[in-house]
Amino acid sequence: MSITTTAHLNFGGNAREALEFYQSVFGGHLVVITYGDFGMPKELPDADRVVWGQVAADNGFRVMAYDVPSHAGSFTTATAAATHREDGMTLTGQPFFMSVRGETAEEVGVLWDRLAEGATIVENYGPAQWAPAFGMLTDRFGVTWILDVATEYAAA
């Protein structure tokens, strides 16, 4: 049996913009289907919102997203403040992070630079105790990302 797991992000009206941004960062093919494409009358307020969208790239990056219908109530993206402790741990109230891992600091650094556009930096991208490079940011859409370089785990 083979399975795949893909993060599915929820937005309050800017899913298309977010997906287009992620495509500009990671490359790949963008698919966007609106509620109107699924038959909602075009004159209704949510007709142009995304009911299903995806960016899929040959490098393995894949993310899905949609816009929460406006009649479902208000939607806000929680952006809990991060706390940086003296022992090097970063604590946040985020329920999840998106993780991107590459093979070299240079290739991941390019993605970092693109994702950092309009982002709030939680931890600057650079060498870390456990990896050749690591960084954490919350992008302009409120999604928190961890970018790092893969390394062998050495048990203590």
Segment holding 17, helix H or strand E: helix 15-26
Q: How far apart are CA 14 and CA 142, in angstroms?
A: 11
Quick one: pLDDT at residue 80?
Answer: 46
Quick one: pLDDT at residue 57?
Answer: 96
| Tens-place pLDDT, residues 69-116 | 887 655 554 444 555 545 454 545 556 789 999 999 999 999 999 999
pTM above 0.85, yes or no: no
Query: Which residue type occupies 147?
Result: L
At residue 95's C-alpha, the angle toward residues 62 and 103, to 5°, is: 40
CATH topology of domain 7-72: 3.30.720
Chain-wide mean pLDDT for the chain?
Answer: 85
Percent of the chain topping pLDDT 70: 81
Provide the residue ranges of all domains of the chain, joining segments of one domain with +.
7-72, 83-149
| 7-72 and 83-149: identical CATH topology | yes
CATH dotted code for 83-149 = 3.30.720.110
